[in-house]
Structure 1
Amino acid sequence: MARVLISVTHLLGTGHLSRALTLARAFGTAGHEAHVMSGGMPVAHLPTDGVTLHQLPPVKSDGVNFTDLLCENGPVDDTYLQARKRAAINTLTKVRPDVFITELYPFGRRVLKAEFLAMLNTARDMAPKPLILCSVRDILAPPSKPKKALETEAVIAGYYDGVLVHSVGEITPLDVSWPVTNMLREKLLYTGYVAPELAPAHPQGVGTGEVLVTAGGGDVGMGLFRAALQAAALDPDTPYRVLVGGAAAQSNIAALFDEGLSDNVTIEPTRPDFRQMLPLAKAAICMCGYNTALDVLQSGLPAVFVPFDAGGEVEQTLRAESLSKTDGYAVIKSSDANGETLSAALRSVCAMDVRPMEEGQFQGAAQTVQSVENKLAAMR
């Protein structure tokens, strides 16, 4: 049995934390001691069974401005960040992991560079030194300057034993979004997509025949929701269910009600049984974050993706464009999303036969555990 510690900080949505917890649960299921150190805002709806969760003093981004961090009381200062760093080091030294995994860093979260480097230095100086790995999704935010890629390369070379890429290399290699050098390529370990087990259909039949509208678990998506409500008004015979996430869910729901709804619309907060609704639904209108995209792909549900692209973000757009090459999926830019464009795209994807992906391609959590076990065995 190995002790595994995953360090993750989600700043806007909840996808990074959700994926880290899925990995941690897989390690626990395999008999390992699983820990997650979370530096983002607490999230109540994500399952933590079989995982020890360590909460750092939390931070979040100021909307899509990822360089200015906020805490619950406003902007963070150096005193707050130093307290986070101490808490992170204390957690690391208390757990004394055999495997230390940083989620996204050094490919992202550079605003927390000092914190991550302090943890990496602490881990590297431990005796015995833990296996140090990085965990990244299929598509990264491409480096805006060559200097950022070079800095990332130096950190990988100096500290890391491998990079876990949660993708199928033949479908979405890391090269799609990041310059992969020979040194980096030798460290890449493709695991397949990290997703929970395929959810059974909802026992109460919730979602049957509906168009499900979601922007994930973060405080984004009002533009998507408004466009979907316009589409619902044009299609009164189809039930629409709009699921609103984030800390501001209730106020955002109230704002949508104030704008007026057609009779075929249900609006409610994000539901923990969302994945069980997918197999019964007619189609989905959603953003294209990693976890949402995988939920849709697993279910075989037709979907219209409206990727998040505020603040120059390109990750979801790259993912959506890749998926749209397959029958049953369409992409609409957020600036083009309205009732008419969504309605037309829905009619198109619902007329297609969606070809389900192989279930083995979604076993990224189990394959991650196997890859880590193989690396540990080679070290001993």
Structure 2
Amino acid sequence: MAGIASPSPRVFFYVQHLLGIGHLARASRIAQALADDAFDVTMVTGGTPVPGFPGPRIRHVELPPMAAGDAGFSGLVDLTGTPVDDAFKDRRRDLLLAVFREARPDVVIIEAFPFGRRQVRFELMPLLEAIASRAAPPIVLSSVRDILQQRRKPGRDEESVALASAHFDGIFVHGDPSFARLEDSFPLAGQIADRLLYTGLVAARPQAPAAERFDILVSAGGGAVGAALNAAAIAAARALPPTLRWCLVAGPNLPQPAFEAVLLAAPDNVVVERFRADFPGLLSGARLSVSQSGYNTVCDVLRAGCRAVYVPFTAGGETEQAARAERLRQMGLATVVGERSLTPQTLTEAIATTLDRPRPPPPPLDLDGARTTARLLRALLAGTPVATLASETAVRR
């Protein structure tokens, strides 16, 4: 791999969020760290637009947006809920390839694929073919979280390994190997071990507590699948002492009728918001976080160091959040309420019990994954072999 001496290497970063906003949020944090390190970043997104993402100093190109048709990711729909057709896919593919040709990147980062996002093979395989056809192809990297969704269909893991081996120079694994290793959720990880670059968890930078303080901060991620958590939290707020001050962040993707229902149901001691850009700062000042256990929320909670109650999202056979929450419970960093066990009573009891516990100690985990990603990318561009970096990052730094 030849070294690239440019002080501002061009990075082409593709991310497609389909249900929540977790993939977009993590990718945006990484993109901002790259921009801070003088990378010239173009981010291409294709999901429901979310205000504030990907953030400043990032060239942002939006493909015609689409989303998952349901929580099981069984189909793709446009923003009106209409299933996407071949013409829609062709428009996206052609725009993606045009942006790639214009960007002339030194590095291409593709979020999730080939370990996820099979739904967008129609545009990603042509992109990978276009990359390979260049006289001097860019470095190609996959960007994945530390715990993957476990596959139910035979052959999927083998297909992911084949694609990774054929088209990708390396895989950024955004996790601390002392907390979770890729092989814990992806059994064939050993076949590509010399390409796995552990970055640490991608948490927000430390933030001072926000001016507005709350005892309990409830968040439902993007909000598309948070209705049950919102309802149980409102009931818990009514059952617990009214002196407790709550903030419920319902999520930008919660349908408007459901959001209005939360507003009407909330008692006077509960502030209801759709989205808070200062969410990490709110966590820093909160006594307790109540949330699902998605990657970004967990990273924010760990960084803030507040008590936590997690209700993992498990609909549609999802396994990732439950695996993460159980690890945190075993470390003494969380109380867990199973999604199937979620009722106003179980959540009220979990909140009351967790509030009485001491604030947890700082977690023994690497939370600086965004800046480490930039550092590793600099090393790759300077010509350091991927296998060398993989060996260095395979153990906790």
Q: TM-score range by the shorter chain?
A: over 0.9
1:107 & 1:139 partners in 2: Cα distance?
11
Q: What residue is the counterpart of 1:233 in the other structure? A: 238
1:379 & 1:273 partners in 2: Cα distance?
37
Structure 1: stretches of 5+ with no match in the other structure: none
Provide Cα deviations, 1:122-148, integer angstroms capped at 9, x if missing partner.
Answer: 111112110000000111111213300
Pairs aligned (count): 375
> How high is the TM-score relative to the length of structure 2?
0.91
Paired residue secondary structure (1:176): helix
Give the structure, 1 or 2, with the largest relative contact order (CA under 8 Å, sep 6 or more). Answer: 2
Counterpart selection for 1:118 from 100, 123, 126: 126
Q: What residue is the counterpart of 1:10 in the other structure? A: 17
1:265 & 1:242 partners in 2: Cα distance?
7
Pair 1:307 & 2:315 matched:
no
Counterpart selection for 1:340 from 320, 345, 368: 345
Pair 1:109 & 2:109 matched:
no
1:326 & 1:207 partners in 2: Cα distance?
27
Provide Cα deviations, 1:186-205, integer angstroms capped at 9, x if missing partner.
Answer: 11000001122111111x2x
Change (3 A) 1:229 1:140: same
Query: What's the offset of the Cα at 1:22?
Result: 1.1
Counterpart selection for 1:244 from 237, 246, 250: 250
Alpha-carbon RMSD: 1.6
Q: What residue is the counterpart of 2:394 in the other structure? A: none
2:45 & 2:38 partners in 1: Cα distance?
22
Provide Cα deviations, 1:216-258, integer angstroms capped at 9, x if missing partner.
Answer: 1242211001111111111123122211112445422211244
Paired residue secondary structure (2:135): coil
Matches within 5 A, 1:308-323: 308-323=313-328
1:352 & 1:63 partners in 2: Cα distance?
39
Query: What's the offset of the Cα at 1:47?
Result: 4.8
- Name the aligned partner's letter for residue 113 of structure 2: Y
Q: What residue is the counterpart of 2:302 in the other structure? A: 297
- Name the aligned partner's letter for residue 371 of structure 2: A
Structure 2: stretches of 5+ with no match in the other structure: 1-7, 386-397
Matches within 5 A, 1:146-295: 146-202=154-210, 204=211, 206-208=212-214, 210-235=215-240, 236-248=242-254, 250-258=256-264, 260-295=265-300
- Residue identity (%): 34
2:263 & 2:46 partners in 1: Cα distance?
33
- Name the aligned partner's letter for residue 279 of structure 1: S
2:254 & 2:310 partners in 1: Cα distance?
23
Provide Cα deviations, 1:299-330, integer angstroms capped at 9, x if missing partner.
Answer: 01101000111111111111111111122411
- Name the aligned partner's letter for residue 134 of structure 1: S
- Name the aligned partner's letter for residue 247 of structure 2: R
Bigger Cα displacement from structure 2, 246-255 vs 211-220: 246-255
Paired residue secondary structure (2:73): strand
Change (3 A) 1:318 1:116: same
1:225 & 1:170 partners in 2: Cα distance?
33
Conserved 8 A contact 1:67-1:111 = no
Query: What's the offset of the Cα at 1:49?
Result: 0.7
Bigger Cα displacement from structure 2, 116-125 vs 320-329: 320-329
Conserved 8 A contact 1:327-1:349 = no
Paired residue secondary structure (1:43): coil
Q: What residue is the counterpart of 2:36 in the other structure? A: 29
1:45 & 1:232 partners in 2: Cα distance?
30
2:289 & 2:344 partners in 1: Cα distance?
14
1:379 & 1:325 partners in 2: Cα distance?
37
Bigger Cα displacement from structure 2, 22-31 vs 341-350: 341-350
Conserved 8 A contact 2:183-2:189 = no
Query: What's the offset of the Cα at 1:215?
Result: 0.6
Conserved 8 A contact 2:266-2:272 = no
- Name the aligned partner's letter for residue 151 of structure 1: E
Q: What residue is the counterpart of 1:127 in the other structure? A: 135
Q: What residue is the counterpart of 2:374 in the other structure? A: 369
1:330 & 1:22 partners in 2: Cα distance?
27
Counterpart selection for 2:361 from 355, 366, 374: 355
> How high is the TM-score relative to the length of structure 1?
0.95
Pair 1:326 & 2:307 matched:
no
